[in-house]
Structure 1
Amino acid sequence: MSAKHFINDPTLLVNSALHALTLTNPSIALDAEHKIIYRRPGHASQVSIISGGGSGHEPSFGAFVGRGGLAAAVAGSIFASPSTEQIRKAIVSRVDAEQGVLVTVMNYTGDVLNFGVAVEKAKATGLDVEMLVVGDDVGVGRKAAGKVGRRGIAGTVLVHKITGALAAQGASLNDVYNVGKLVADNIVSVGASLEHVHVPGRARPDPNSAEVLGADEVEIGMGIHNEPGSGRAEVDLPELVKRMLAQLLDTKDDDRAFLNVNSNEVVLMINNLGGVSVLELGGITAEVVTQLEKSYQIKPVRVLAGTYMTSLNGLGFSISILNVVNTNIGGPSMLQLLDAPCEAAGWAAPISKETWEAGSTNVREDSAGSEEQVKKSGLMGDPEVLLRSLTEGLKRVILAEPDVTKFDTIVGDGDCGQTLQRGSKAVLKMLTIDKPTGDVAVDVSKIAQVVEASMDGTSGALYTIFLNALVHALRQQASQGEATPEVWATALKKASESLAKYTPAKPGDRTLVDALHPFVETLGTTGDITKAAEASRAGAEGTKGMKASLGRTVYIGGSGFEKVPDPGAWGLSELFLGLAGIKGPEPETDYEMV
């Protein structure tokens, strides 16, 4: 792999590349602080589509902002998700949200969680926002992908193009979301590369490391973040294409049969991962089209070949196949939307003469001073009871830190206890300064803000998503007037359902859900918080000996889980016991270190 670059500072590289987009398309602007590319104001109100992800995939995502495309794109560092605050800023300040906002994200854990937090926070303020997760890659099959699911790769571009065209024609948020999901459900993609890439600013790779491919090897199923694929092989182009098409289209392959092509209209996209010459990409395109017709009797109605989503200067390509189906909205077809004009530099369409001559210098002003605050819901509870319950619950979590840390040292990174303690202390401090108002939606919203600011990592994102979803669910029940146990139970169940959109964790996967689910279910059936808290503790106890399906333990393996409970579940059960007014014993010490 080549480790030589013209710009070796990754921060300078990302920032200057984003600035360059505004030089090549006068209809877009840059929020440099938050690394957001967005359409300048002045166009007709429509559904705004926001996407983004790590840098290094150009022209995705920033160069797909423009008329008929995205309304905004949020950039992270190279191969790293943008932060929640960047994404939230894009939603509330950089796009027109009057007709609603569709947030489209590729299926990577960091992206899904950070975009999910931002979406739930936006919903909690009353904005109409939907989130669509795209996973089109078949390079990793069902067994290896597990609950995480398929990665999102270049096929996502087709989702952006089609939904962008539909939004530009004035469609509703519901129609744009549904058509986008339909497109995502009918796309399969797979990549391959002759080399892994070198990220500017990092050490040069050891030429003898496993990361470096052999002289004649190709990585089949290569991802867009430089990660390995399904295997390596020494094959020529015809054999490589044959294997890739089999992964895409072989309906007998139970591990990868994600799409049954049942349409006479198929769109083919050949995507350059960044380092393939235009000449060679032409040869690859010809080989793919030839084999599609010969082996599968498929003659694409559209063949798109070019650079749409890269992995820096990856010496590889990907194949995406879209099965064109009825959009079921009584309007333009999927193909018509694909063909519709688009004024985004990343799509093969020129910027119009009118746009250049307009010479617009308008920018969307930062609305930080007037951003929407969570409004009163009118759903009331006793503020003194809420304060007392929260204080007891948070104190139990703080006292449980040594045990949670010990458990997590055995089965995780060792930081779970301190993360929970840090968040609990921050909320307690806030409660001494800003006591509950009695409006439960407002009070939970304040807690959510503190949790997001004080708790990092996966657990911080999960708690923030849940709490913001809980605010939204409480607001939906404002007509009840009083926050009864039944109202709380309903809201907690809806918040759990929202959390399930962003994590595949289910009871039995050895996660905090093993404590959350029994609490919510028991509160819903009994209305008794004490019984619910006891069910939560039983659920946490039940994780001892349970093999993890998600989290770090899945990757590192090892033992220890047989003798200790899941630390996240244990910590959450401590909170619930405290909320129920159950006094806690001294921190547990009877779990053996292994």
Structure 2
Amino acid sequence: MSNFFMNDRKTLIDDVIEGAILSTPFKNLAKLDVDSAIRVVVRRDWDKSKVALISGGGSGHEPAHVGFIGKGMLTAAVCGDVFASPSVDAVLNAIVAVTGEAGCLLIVKNYTGDRLNFGLAAEKAKNLGYQVDLVMVADDVALPDNKQPRGIAGTALVHKVAGYAAEQGKALAEVAKIAQQAIDATSSIGVAMHGCNLPGGDDDEEESDRIAPGQVELGLGIHGEPGISTLKTHNSEKIVKALVETLQQNLKKNAKLAVLINNLGGVSPLEMNQITKELVHSELAGAVRYLIGPAALVSALDMKGFSLSAIELNEGIEEALLSEVEAAGWHPLVKLEKLPVQKGKKISQKVKVKASTNEEVSKIITTITETLVSLESELNKLDAKVGDGDTGSTFASGAKDLLEQNKGKKLPQDDLSSLFGVVGDRLATVMGGSSGVLMSIFFTAAGQKVSEGGNLAQSLLFGLERMKHYGGADLGDRTLIDALQPALEALDKKAGDYKGAAKAAAKGAKDTASMKKANAGRSSYLNSESLKGVKDPGAVAVEKVFAALLEQNTVTKK
């Protein structure tokens, strides 16, 4: 089974090239039309008066190499199949298409297929009378004793430095010399926790399963080639430290650096920013002058990994890297500076009020909170049928806190506006989740309405309206609103009518059992069969509270 969005594996690379050309913001690319088997992308604005730069290789490393074509970087890119070197004929046609009297430089990653095919094409072009030179990028330092280090993400840095030299009108020999200086100044190493999948490949045969869960492989190649060692960790700090230690062994002691933080294709932006933070707090931080990325510049399809490429700066290389280009895949350098911090004054909206006593209000608070505490298990069981089974615990947590505050005479019982404000403040703190915030909105808004002269029922209805506005639920959405709103409307119609309010709440809660669809909360993800015959637990909580208030009111009157 393929892990890729694609139409036809046979036309995949042609489709990818078309998409890249059409989406470049500079409108400066064209596909070379010579043969359907030859995939070459060239600059539309090229006049052959300067040294041409050609790179390429197997596809699957996007945005390399098409993404680096444009003023100040490459003149053309030759695209092979996925992880396969382009043919000699494709490279030769690219040379002929873009090379003038100034000649061309081939920038090749150090892999056998690329070396041979680009090398043979260069020799054939020379026989046709073209000036051609070739440099090989070998920036991978994972294997210290390897006589032929691989070319990986540092290739993009070489494109940039050589592209600047060519844009300045330098001769071919000078451009090649500067490109080689950039190669010699660049060191890269990569790591991955999972290899890459090939388009249309069989998952059961993929090498990507080689890395054990919980481990990463250091020095993994950009085609999934095995690395040099494994680390039994996914900790970003430890992994970056290991990469930095290897890089430091290959860098001059006092060198100033630009570091490319390269996404190999399958790492989220969140993780790449974490990796960037680790780098700028690593042992390498004092040497880093510029950052490039984090971004994918030379990827490996969907490989879950990243690489670090450090280039030692001199005046020429720094100037070249900082120059502007018209290439969609390049990311401008960012000067590394101390983390900017802007001081601000902490704002606290904690309600500060003076405690007061009111026996009647105290009894109401006690009744409501004790009822909700006693319902914890019942509501949790009910919620387990239609939600995540925590409604009872959520309401009980808020109720227990307020019950304790009430018993300790810490509430402004004789000041309704302040009381609602305190209740709203406490519920946002102790209930947690969306329920705590919604109930906090309800009581906070109600308290504000009381301070403006509203009566109890009107103020609570105003709080409900605000809760509905921010929460998005309304009558009929199978929530506590279906019981709470009719109960409050009954009290608004006749002050102190606990019997009417309790009756309305009971009917509202009962009606939720026949509602086929919940439009808010976790229940909204369930089908009608799962909800059938089950009351909404929040509505049941409201029903039980008003029943308890009715009973208390009846006892008080006797």
Q: Same fold (TM over 0.5)?
A: yes
Aligned counterparts of 1:246 and 1:31: Cα–Cα separation in 2: 44
- For residue 260 of structure 2, what is the aligned residue in structure 1? 269
- For residue 160 of structure 1, what is the aligned residue in structure 2? 159
> What is the CA-CA distance between 1:204 and the residue it aligns to?
1.6
- For residue 327 of structure 2, what is the aligned residue in structure 1? 344
> What is the CA-CA distance between 1:174 and the residue it aligns to?
1.4
Q: Point out which structure has higher relative CO (alpha carbons under 8 A, 6+ apart).
A: 1
Q: 1:140 to 1:277 in 2, by over 3 A?
A: same
Asked if 1 retains the 8 angstrom alpha-carbon contact of 2:99 and 2:130, the reply is no
**2:74 aligned residue (62, 70, 73):** 70
Matched, 1:61 2:65: yes
Asked if 2 retains the 8 angstrom alpha-carbon contact of 1:91 and 1:97, the reply is no
Aligned counterparts of 1:39 and 1:62: Cα–Cα separation in 2: 10
Question: Could you tell me the TM-score, scaled by structure 1's length?
Answer: 0.53
In the TM superposition, what whole-angstrom CA distance separates every residue of 1:507-542 from its partner, at most 9, and x where no partner exists? xxxxxxxxxxxxxxxxxxxxxxxxxxxxxxxxxxxx
Q: 1:278 to 1:128 in 2, by over 3 A?
A: same
Asked if 2 retains the 8 angstrom alpha-carbon contact of 1:53 and 1:81, the reply is yes
> What is the CA-CA distance between 1:303 and the residue it aligns to?
4.2
> What is the CA-CA distance between 1:217 and the residue it aligns to?
1.2
Asked if 2 retains the 8 angstrom alpha-carbon contact of 1:8 and 1:200, the reply is no
- Correspondence list, 1:92-107, <5 A: 92=96, 94-107=97-110
Q: 1:247 to 1:40 in 2, by over 3 A?
A: same
* One-letter code aligned to 1:96: T
> What is the CA-CA distance between 1:261 and the residue it aligns to?
4.2
In the TM superposition, what whole-angstrom CA distance separates every residue of 1:189-243 from its partner, at most 9, and x where no partner exists? 0000110111012222258x78432220111111101111112221221111111
Aligned counterparts of 2:284 and 2:111: Cα–Cα separation in 1: 33
Aligned counterparts of 1:80 and 1:125: Cα–Cα separation in 2: 26
Aligned counterparts of 2:270 and 2:205: Cα–Cα separation in 1: 31
* One-letter code aligned to 1:334: I
Gap runs ≥5 in structure 1: 251-257, 327-332, 350-594
**1:217 aligned residue (196, 209, 215):** 215
* One-letter code aligned to 1:65: I
Asked if 1 retains the 8 angstrom alpha-carbon contact of 2:2 and 2:200, the reply is no
* One-letter code aligned to 1:196: G
> What is the CA-CA distance between 1:126 and the residue it aligns to?
1.8
Asked if 1 retains the 8 angstrom alpha-carbon contact of 2:195 and 2:208, the reply is no
In the TM superposition, what whole-angstrom CA distance separates every residue of 1:4-37 from its partner, at most 9, and x where no partner exists? 2111643322111111122123211012621001
Q: 1:16 to 1:261 in 2, by over 3 A?
A: farther
Matched, 1:306 2:295: yes
- For residue 32 of structure 2, what is the aligned residue in structure 1? 31
Asked if 2 retains the 8 angstrom alpha-carbon contact of 1:267 and 1:322, the reply is yes
* One-letter code aligned to 1:337: A
In the TM superposition, what whole-angstrom CA distance separates every residue of 1:474-495 from its partner, at most 9, and x where no partner exists? xxxxxxxxxxxxxxxxxxxxxx
* One-letter code aligned to 1:135: A
- For residue 570 of structure 1, what is the aligned residue in structure 2? none
SS at match of 1:59: coil
Q: 1:336 to 1:210 in 2, by over 3 A?
A: closer
Q: 1:246 to 1:8 in 2, by over 3 A?
A: farther
- For residue 137 of structure 2, what is the aligned residue in structure 1? 134
Asked if 1 retains the 8 angstrom alpha-carbon contact of 2:259 and 2:288, the reply is no
User: Which structure has the larger Rg?
Assistant: 2
In the TM superposition, what whole-angstrom CA distance separates every residue of 1:264-291 from its partner, at most 9, and x where no partner exists? x210110000111111101101101210
- For residue 245 of structure 1, what is the aligned residue in structure 2? 244
Q: 1:45 to 1:229 in 2, by over 3 A?
A: same
- Correspondence list, 1:453-492, <5 A: none
Q: 1:101 to 1:206 in 2, by over 3 A?
A: closer
SS at match of 2:225: coil
- For residue 87 of structure 1, what is the aligned residue in structure 2? 91
* One-letter code aligned to 1:29: A
- For residue 462 of structure 1, what is the aligned residue in structure 2? none
Q: 1:261 to 1:55 in 2, by over 3 A?
A: farther
- For residue 531 of structure 2, what is the aligned residue in structure 1? none
In the TM superposition, what whole-angstrom CA distance separates every residue of 1:337-375 from its partner, at most 9, and x where no partner exists? 1111110111137xxxxxxxxxxxxxxxxxxxxxxxxxx
- For residue 124 of structure 2, what is the aligned residue in structure 1? 121
Alpha carbon RMSD of aligned pairs, Å? 1.9
Asked if 2 retains the 8 angstrom alpha-carbon contact of 1:8 and 1:201, the reply is no
- For residue 325 of structure 1, what is the aligned residue in structure 2? 314
Aligned counterparts of 1:231 and 1:210: Cα–Cα separation in 2: 16
- For residue 487 of structure 1, what is the aligned residue in structure 2? none
Matched, 1:259 2:251: yes
Q: 1:136 to 1:205 in 2, by over 3 A?
A: same
Aligned counterparts of 1:82 and 1:210: Cα–Cα separation in 2: 24
> What is the CA-CA distance between 1:3 and the residue it aligns to?
4.6
- For residue 290 of structure 1, what is the aligned residue in structure 2? 281
- For residue 6 of structure 1, what is the aligned residue in structure 2? 5
Aligned counterparts of 2:28 and 2:99: Cα–Cα separation in 1: 15
Aligned counterparts of 1:299 and 1:127: Cα–Cα separation in 2: 40
> What is the CA-CA distance between 1:153 and the residue it aligns to?
0.1
Aligned counterparts of 2:106 and 2:30: Cα–Cα separation in 1: 19
> What is the CA-CA distance between 1:125 and the residue it aligns to?
1.8
Aligned counterparts of 1:101 and 1:110: Cα–Cα separation in 2: 20
> What is the CA-CA distance between 1:175 and the residue it aligns to?
1.4
* One-letter code aligned to 2:277: A
- Correspondence list, 1:510-529, <5 A: none
> What is the CA-CA distance between 1:313 and the residue it aligns to?
1.0
Aligned counterparts of 2:224 and 2:310: Cα–Cα separation in 1: 22
* One-letter code aligned to 2:295: G
* One-letter code aligned to 1:101: C
Asked if 2 retains the 8 angstrom alpha-carbon contact of 1:10 and 1:78, the reply is no
Aligned counterparts of 1:221 and 1:348: Cα–Cα separation in 2: 24
> What is the CA-CA distance between 1:110 and the residue it aligns to?
0.7
> What is the CA-CA distance between 1:96 and the residue it aligns to?
3.3
Matched, 1:334 2:337: no
> What is the CA-CA distance between 1:129 and the residue it aligns to?
0.6
Gap runs ≥5 in structure 2: 333-558
In the TM superposition, what whole-angstrom CA distance separates every residue of 1:102-146 from its partner, at most 9, and x where no partner exists? 00000001100110000011112221110000100012221xx3x
Shifted more, 114-123 versus 165-174: the winner is 165-174
Identity of aligned residues (%): 37
**1:234 aligned residue (223, 232, 235):** 232
Aligned counterparts of 1:91 and 1:283: Cα–Cα separation in 2: 42
- For residue 281 of structure 1, what is the aligned residue in structure 2? 272
* One-letter code aligned to 1:304: G
Aligned counterparts of 1:182 and 1:164: Cα–Cα separation in 2: 13
> What is the CA-CA distance between 1:44 and the residue it aligns to?
6.7
> What is the CA-CA distance between 1:41 and the residue it aligns to?
4.4
